[in-house]
Structure 1
């Protein structure tokens, strides 16, 4: 057991007692690591991270808080990394491995046996380290107590949860856990010796006097904590930093070898583009031939360039105006000016995240190469099924080594992670980096597309929250479809925006249908207290459309009002009786000469009911079904087929728009509302909130089809939207039950009220809604405070409003339970920062429920059982994946297991809304688990619930009959 440290300045000249203190130990071997060595490793890693990986924006934020600027910031980050584990130099920690503890006793550091320390849980080594650092600063450097916590909290929180006031008080009364009473002086001497060595080697001894008067902002404390966590995780990996007795190489060789093996990509470091807007867009995006930059896009770039300090930009513009391209162009400018090292594109669903990911990759491929040989960009798709996405799986890591995680810290939960066994083509430009692909670390990649949940998690009191803040603090954040979130989610979003504003993170918010009050809330949340109330009334009062709103730190908001692009559609809006025969009659008439119609229903049950009736009337091959309850690969193929058949001119040949016996009909749920560039001749939609109804109208005559739409059938050359899903004979109209369950009566009745002048019109001229001009007026009226609709509707609307307000209040209160505190005053330590939190937060079913008020959901993997009893993959999958036999006595081969994992299906609301039904369903699925698939090495299948269908695609679950077909997806009926 040698650890003389003669080859390292961290160990050279230390006393035998200080050299004997251990930090790491492998359970299955004699390998161990002395604390002085881990301190040196952690400091060296922190230096490399700071110099080569941390974005400039993060470094500057820390530097601004310290008297010595950039030099102080680097020294502080390295010192905190070096000293984060000083709490392991205590009896409470050291007693855990008896052989190593006995070695310490032999060198004068006495301690009881582990079984004799019943109260050692009061001194987890992070909290113990915080206490030791505080005493060292006060007793050896004269710091006042009040100045210490903002620095020492980093050690206290480096395992993901900063201590609470109660934790700190409890340890104060158990001093023997820090130093054995009989040898307290020896313990203190060893602790101080290690801390003195760190102060000298990190170059902070002469800086300590100046730091006493610093007021570290809470965002800086968070970022330093996160950096220490990352440095600790890397330095704790025995593959990178071998343990004794083998890991005896000198410091430079040891660190160089580890850093080379880790091979972390550098952050993005763009130069601000200098070309004009037209040239910029031509270089970055695949624009159609002859396409011009639209006014909204040009105005967004001009506004970004005119902002002295990057901040928040809200882009409100119609569907199809190129908001995504505008956001990416603004992100490039903001990143260059702010020092951001990447970009996170947050979207409402996994489907929209998947749709955005290849667009993000295409944009990255067109960026100027600013890396100068520094390596590839790191890219991540942030949702629970990212490993099944072909575009993401194709970004194979350059370094396929599987670095082990250590048995890091016995007094804390296991911090290990598992890597997905993705396969695909190697890329020299874009890398889903192997170290960054972990559950908590993936968001640290430079470029990320993912669900909004990943951003909302930054407002949720949860373990390792500091890492989530580091992940966004060094990026430009783009929030798409900002109107799509309810009161519960907006509580988290507003809180997160306030932290982003405190970090100085540039944010771009996109929406086609944003209520004015919500625009003001977003701007005020980002601005925080720094901007006061100045100018925010004007933000809410602005009625122009398109509209750009900009907020920079310490400045009044600015508004830009670009001209519309001139693209527009006049849509005739008609009420349609909610009767399937009436619908079929109308479609038969309007599609007699061909064309295509989109029928949007608010529930999957209505989709199935409508499709079955229309097939009986129009023919099986004329009706296509689209909704969310398809297997994931089926839904992806459905989206691709929809784009091929009904996409924009040039991307579809239009042949599928007609049919020998009449036109085509797509019956769909809300999945067609966003992120699908599809174009239909006729729209039928259930009554929905006005912003969503307008989104659906955006799928109607979306692209020109000949001069004056001459390529469309003659009777369909006028864009027409038929609104069903309500009893239009009632006053006010009564929405169907399913729609009211999904959206609430208030938003549906407000939509009916603002559309009432059009719906009650006597002819096409009076029923015409001009888009995009009418979008903002309709949205503001529907979501504004003023009464709408005929006077006789007043009482019903007021009652619906009362119920709506009550539900919103419940949502706000519910969100508060685990909502992070607002940014605290400078110098206030992060004590109790995530106290009473949720533990870990991730993409699991339970994790998402923490930031979405959607109740429980349940996802299963689907296979089939043949008549001979064998389990097989569903037969219609492409290639040799379909109908492949699955072993039940062993773990399936990786590719076969991955095929099963890809066949995920979220069970419908009917099976999850009642907790008793949900519990029954889970119990039945667990009873049918294939035990061999639960093995530790079964990464894709272990822990998953599998729904087994018979050869006809049927199953019974929790008292319901389930039937799955490739054409219609999942249908659920009560078993009678």
Structure 2
């Protein structure tokens, strides 16, 4: 935020856009953005409120954003013919905090990005590199802002191709850009810098950027110029994390956690798939009891997902914010990758499936994240040393082999390279991982051109590398189909720049898939159906300031009141990978469309019109496209093949 202020002052930018990888991280950044704006001195307070926008498809369900929208009912006019000197200087103007407003004219998928201050998903930035209608409006929205791209390591080859092209246009416009990542490979850093600098800068100018392994490291580049590197002193405390391999046996994991948490403490277990999260949680509940195990993953309806995140922060957040709420007895959180980004949570012990090394380092950031007493003395004695158990690998094999679910998610090559660079730290007498000093060396070695793996692995790594490069090349070719051309020289006409484009690009599920190489998924709104056919909101939804939200009756012959419609819309859920196969998806859609409520398709019911409704029975179960679905507040959606 400080960099945004400096860049805005130097460039004359009138706002900023924070691009983040997910809606959850976008919501978290939106709260910080509003807090920052409210503290920002406003020299032009008499000129009106700053327009803010939350840029993702579920922004209307965000309480802070909807509060701002409700505050804009008063009419606003602009007198373009008024006298230029009608504004008078006020001596106390600098002490006024900025007034914030979600302006009604700047709502919607096309105009929202024109707001001065925006936080949202990175898709909005990637759309600026996609041949689509109204592309000039997207470029106009970015041209007057400072753009911040967070978690830059989180994007695959397909998304990175669009990100690079977007940066080339922002560089041509002279838009200031800040790219943030704690675990970015040096080669990728050079690609980002060169994309912004432009093609006229020779490749040789980026040689130092490609090899620099310092941490922290600042890389600066101007459009058409050579990069500059600065190596500031590291701030904050350092942490030593001792790694240990652990067999992929749920019973062995449970035994180990019982021993480790004998004196209390909080452990985090990170699994690479939701199915592994569910299986692990079931095993641990048999040993610790249901109240001592918390599950966190992406298969919760939106309201429960937000409740989960808030609960994790309240119990495992920074000291001072979770005082009195942190569990005293043993407690285990079993989570998927949702804990890797933006959640400021702190645990005494970490267990993680093997993942690409940059993601392993992100997970290590949740271990002893904060100081709890002098020399960590507020933690249980056994857990005052930061330790991480690495599992999800068949350690007994001649070549350690990651489990199949991890290979499907990440590919074999990144996992084998990660294992190769972590292997010295996994030896019984190996050194600890020193954070932050070891972050850059580990990442650069894993993603560099060297061969860190043992000779006995080489044939497996080479085969995995060939498959990895084949998939990367395929993603790049696929991205080129609708990617905008490079920014031309000043004065070049833009005629035909979106020829053979995709048409409209928006922040719907189909729109996001144009800039993300992900399989098509189904998203449903979840309700409950009683034995007599009545529809209700899901039971167990958290209350709001207006009262109860769970178990409310829904009208079938009329448009639901706005509050009820909003509650149902807040119970969105993305069905898992089983429903991404075409045959299964078609069957699921056919079955879901049988519960189309005509009254809900009216124009006045914009929350629910056109949405697929999944109705669970009184036990919160149902059958869909040959699968048994079961939903609970504790575990979210469980899917098993029907007999």
C-alpha displacement at 1:399, in angstroms? Answer: 4.5
C-alpha displacement at 1:731, in angstroms? Answer: 3.2
2:44 is matched with which residue: 365, 371, 382? Answer: 371
In 2, distance between residues paired with 1:459 and 1:731? 46
1:917 paired with 2:581, answer no
- Structure 1 SS opposite 2:326: helix
Q: Give the conservation status (yes or no) of the 8 Å contact 1:397–1:433.
A: no
2:428 is matched with which residue: 757, 762, 768? Answer: 762
Question: How does 1:774-793 map onto structure 2 within 5 Å?
Answer: 774-793=438-457
In 2, distance between residues paired with 1:472 and 1:532? 27
Question: How does 1:352-371 map onto structure 2 within 5 Å?
Answer: 352-371=25-44
1:461 is matched with which residue: 122, 131, 136? Answer: 131
Q: Give the conservation status (yes or no) of the 8 Å contact 2:299–2:575.
A: yes
Question: How does 1:458-857 map onto structure 2 within 5 Å?
Answer: 458-533=128-203, 535-653=205-323, 655-659=325-329, 663-759=330-426, 761-763=427-429, 766-857=430-521
1:968 paired with 2:635, answer yes
Q: 1:942 to 1:746 in 2, by over 3 A?
A: same
Q: Give the conservation status (yes or no) of the 8 Å contact 1:646–1:678.
A: yes
2:100 is matched with which residue: 430, 443, 446? Answer: 430
Q: Give the conservation status (yes or no) of the 8 Å contact 1:483–1:514.
A: yes
Q: Give the conservation status (yes or no) of the 8 Å contact 2:346–2:370.
A: yes
In 2, distance between residues paired with 1:350 and 1:459? 20
1:884 is matched with which residue: 529, 548, 552? Answer: 552
2:57 is matched with which residue: 355, 380, 384? Answer: 384
Question: How does 1:29-68 map onto structure 2 within 5 Å?
Answer: none
Q: Give the conservation status (yes or no) of the 8 Å contact 1:545–1:776.
A: yes
Give the alignment's TM-score, normalised by structure 1.
0.63
- Structure 2 SS opposite 1:938: coil
Q: Give the conservation status (yes or no) of the 8 Å contact 2:587–2:625.
A: yes
In 2, distance between residues paired with 1:964 and 1:337? 52
Structure possessing the higher radius of gyration over alpha carbons: 1
Question: How does 1:179-578 map onto structure 2 within 5 Å?
Answer: 328-396=1-69, 399-400=72-73, 429-533=99-203, 535-578=205-248
- Structure 1 SS opposite 2:630: strand
Q: Output one character per residue of 1:388-433: Cα deviation in whole Å (capped at 9) or x when no partner.
A: 0001111036543799xxxxxxxxxxxxxxxxxxxxxxx9811100
Matching residue of 1:900: 568
Matching residue of 1:957: 624
In 2, distance between residues paired with 1:537 and 1:611? 47
- Structure 2 SS opposite 1:529: coil
C-alpha displacement at 1:534, in angstroms? Answer: 5.3
Q: Give the conservation status (yes or no) of the 8 Å contact 1:656–1:664.
A: no
Q: Give the conservation status (yes or no) of the 8 Å contact 1:513–1:776.
A: yes
C-alpha displacement at 1:735, in angstroms? Answer: 0.9
In 2, distance between residues paired with 1:507 and 1:823? 16
Unaligned runs of 5+ in 1: 1-327, 404-426
C-alpha displacement at 1:658, in angstroms? Answer: 2.3
Q: 1:955 to 1:730 in 2, by over 3 A?
A: same
- Structure 2 SS opposite 1:511: coil
In 1, distance between residues paired with 2:38 and 2:201? 38
In 1, distance between residues paired with 2:70 and 2:61? 16
Please provide the CA RMSD for this pair. 1.4
Question: How does 1:853-864 map onto structure 2 within 5 Å?
Answer: 853-864=517-528
Matching residue of 2:81: none
Larger mean CA deviation between 725-734 and 849-858 belongs to 725-734
Q: 1:896 to 1:655 in 2, by over 3 A?
A: closer
Q: Give the conservation status (yes or no) of the 8 Å contact 1:530–1:553.
A: no
Q: Output one character per residue of 1:523-580: Cα deviation in whole Å (capped at 9) or x when no partner.
A: 0000003433353111112121100000113332111101112511110101100000
Q: Give the conservation status (yes or no) of the 8 Å contact 2:50–2:98.
A: no
Q: Output one character per residue of 1:370-394: Cα deviation in whole Å (capped at 9) or x when no partner.
A: 2140000000000000000001111
- Structure 2 SS opposite 1:345: strand
C-alpha displacement at 1:767, in angstroms? Answer: 4.2
Q: Give the conservation status (yes or no) of the 8 Å contact 1:646–1:654.
A: no
Q: Which has the higher strand share?
A: 2
Q: Which has the higher helix share?
A: 1
In 1, distance between residues paired with 2:98 and 2:323? 35
In 1, distance between residues paired with 2:339 and 2:143? 33
What is the number of equivalent residue pairs in this alignment?
Answer: 619
Q: Give the conservation status (yes or no) of the 8 Å contact 1:346–1:480.
A: yes
Matching residue of 2:79: none
In 1, distance between residues paired with 2:576 and 2:495? 42
Q: Output one character per residue of 1:865-897: Cα deviation in whole Å (capped at 9) or x when no partner.
A: 123321000121213221110001111011110
Q: Give the conservation status (yes or no) of the 8 Å contact 1:527–1:551.
A: yes
Q: 1:821 to 1:494 in 2, by over 3 A?
A: same
- Structure 1 SS opposite 2:69: coil
Matching residue of 1:23: none
Q: Give the conservation status (yes or no) of the 8 Å contact 2:314–2:325.
A: no
In 2, distance between residues paired with 1:497 and 1:725? 37
- Structure 2 SS opposite 1:936: coil
Q: Give the conservation status (yes or no) of the 8 Å contact 1:379–1:430.
A: yes
In 1, distance between residues paired with 2:228 and 2:98? 42
Matching residue of 2:91: none
In 1, distance between residues paired with 2:30 and 2:267? 29
Q: Output one character per residue of 1:446-482: Cα deviation in whole Å (capped at 9) or x when no partner.
A: 0000000000000000000110000101100000000
- Structure 1 SS opposite 2:178: strand
In 2, distance between residues paired with 1:973 and 1:398? 46
In 2, distance between residues paired with 1:910 and 1:742? 14
Give the alignment's TM-score, normalised by structure 2.
0.94
In 1, distance between residues paired with 2:165 and 2:292? 48
